[in-house]
A and B are shown apart, each in its own frame.
Chain A
Amino acid sequence: MSEPGTFAANAPAPDDLTDCWRTNGVYGTRTCPQLTDYVHCRNCPIHARAGLEPLNRPVPAGYAEHWTDHFEKEAWSRRSRPSSAVPFRIAGEWLALPTKCFLEIAEWRPIHSIPHARQIVLGLANVRGELLICISLGHLLGLADVPPRNLLRAKHAPLLVLSWAGRRVGFPADEVQSPSRFSSEQVRPAPPALAKANPAFSESMLQWRQRTLILLDPDRLFLALNRNLT
């Protein structure tokens, strides 16, 4: 889309497709009668079809070979679909939570303490203009060597924001890694001691880069959280 009136350089536009959004659409005179229905050109099917036009290009050199190699590999079998989890560290312990319960991993920001809050509550933080309750996951899980809350608040650590079953909550972690894919073969049942712990937050361990992570169960985690926060 270099200059007005042209589509992709080597794909001639079909006769009935023009760049009308630039002439009489929202980027032009705004006189298109369809605008009363679609309000903005991006809602119009003509715009959507024009967006697909760049795909009607010849296949670039090496493209088919690259993908042929990619799909040839015995990746994930259809029976064991890969899952994705985010590994993070709290105190000395590496843990992981499924990627689907993460809203974002935010940078450090001040956490304002709340008077008379329960032990696991660190306070409130501002994330994208919304107040978010921040907790100490280490305290909730009962991990050893978790620093006291005032130290946790002051430490410049990334803030992990979770959303699960309608509740948003954040917690600082000492270290976060990017989401990792793992197959069901990499997941092992947790040792009985961990599974029987009260409350039990996990039934599985995850083999990840020569480390063994405890894969937390978000359902159980938020159940415990709700019990602690209300």
Chain B
Amino acid sequence: MLFLVFQIGRNRYALDSRRVVQVLPLLKLKCLPHAPKGVAGVFMYHGAPVPAVDLSELTLGEPAAELLSTRLIVLDYPGSGDQVHLLGLIAEKATEVIRREPRDFVDSGFNIKAAPYLGPVLVDSRGPIQWLREQHLLSQSIQQLLFGSPALLDSAAAAIQELPSG
């Protein structure tokens, strides 16, 4: 299985690459007013608005550094029922992929209620890599906000279109 590796703070995490649609450079985002912490904004992806979540801000409270190695990962986020939404994840040092088997990851032995997205852990020569379960990443209220109200995204999209170009 192929995993996309990135960092949050100084720790490394892995994402199942089958969920990943495309890895983009860090784009300019349109801020969503009154959005909860971690929701970085909305960007237009081939004509459709896609919300973006800053992983560093979501988990550590600090926005990701604006470096070339900070990327915007577009992934299929499972919604209610069969629905799949596109979601952007801003992740630092998203520059590597690794090929590992799921059984190479071992249970970390603890469960943090507030962080149900933390999965099993793999240890390589540079230290641990934790599997990030993307489907548990967003809390119910954020999911509701991002995918439950298309009107909000559409109004943000309209605002993006109205921005003067350049």
Contacts and interface: CB of A to CB of B under 8 A. Distances in A.
Interface of A: 45, 52, 54-59, 63-65, 67-69, 71-78
Contacts of A54: 68
A65 B28 contact: yes
Contacts of B28: 64-65, 68
B95 interface: yes
Task: Name B's interface SS.
Answer: loop
Contacts of B68: 54-59, 63
Given A68-B43, A71-B45, A55 B69 contact: yes
Interface stretch (B19-27, B115-123, B129-137): B19-27
Contacts of A56: 67-69, 93
A72 B47 contact: yes
Dominant secondary structure of chain A at its interface with chain B: helix
B96 A67 contact: no
Given A56-B93, A65-B28, A45 B69 contact: no
12 contacts: A52-B93, A55-B67, A59-B25, A63-B25, A64-B25, A65-B28, A67-B24, A67-B25, A73-B46, A75-B46, A77-B46, A78-B46
Using C-beta atoms within 8 Å of the partner chain, give the interface range for chain B: 20 to 34
Nearest to B93: A56
Q: Which of A65, A67, A71 has the most CB of B within 10 A?
A: A71
Nearest to B69: A55
A68 B50 CA distance: 12
B97 to A, nearest CB: 12
B165 interface: yes
B67 A57 contact: yes
